[in-house]
Amino acid sequence: MPLTRVYLVLTTDDLDALAGGGAVGPAPRPAHAVTSALGRPGLTTDEEELEHAAWLAAADEAVGATAGGRTRRVIGSADVDAATVVHPTSPDVPSRVEISAPLERRRFVSFHVDEEPGATDVADLLWYDVTELDDVRALASGS
């Protein structure tokens, strides 16, 4: 089955669920991905640039989820079955999609976490491998 890379804002509860063997849900879950509204590779840009634009949209969305700047943004990158990616007919942003199934830990490929609480620039987001979930949880919880 084809896979689609999605980018979604994660909370500390989401991270705890993943660490405990659970899934990120409930479905539907808002996310960002390369969509036809965002563009098509080869026409104006390449796939990597479109994925970066979707990731940026998730990072922008996460700014509003940082409890007034007291917490860190956490973005998860996941590869999901393309059949679970729903494209809204009138998205609020071009990269907006919804995931119609809970996301298990095995679907995640990386996490991106602010270096400092309250950061808003994408340059402040650090990359973490999925195997570093405990480190991501510690940063997100302020430990």
**What CATH number did the domain enclosing 42 receive?**
3.20.170.20
Model confidence at 32, in pLDDT bands (50, 70, 90)?
very high
The yes-or-no verdict on residue 40 having pLDDT over 70 is no
| Long-range contacts, stretch 9-12, CB < 8 angstroms, 24+ apart | 9/58, 9/61, 9/62, 9/65, 9/73, 9/74, 9/75, 9/76, 10/74, 10/75, 10/76, 10/111, 10/140, 11/65, 11/74, 12/137, 12/140, 12/141
The reported pLDDT for the residue numbered 41 is: 56
The yes-or-no verdict on residue 42 having pLDDT over 70 is no
Q: Structure pTM?
A: 0.90
- d(C-alpha 71, C-alpha 121), whole Å: 14
The yes-or-no verdict on residue 22 having pLDDT over 70 is yes
Per-residue model confidence as pLDDT tens digits over 61-119: 988 766 556 789 999 999 999 999 999 888 788 999 999 999 999 999 999 999 988 88
Lowest mean pLDDT among 12-26, 55-69, 93-107, 128-142: 55-69
- 36: domain range? 3-141
Lowest mean pLDDT among 24-33, 67-76, 89-98, 122-131: 67-76
Domain count, the chain: 1
- d(C-alpha 91, C-alpha 121), whole Å: 24
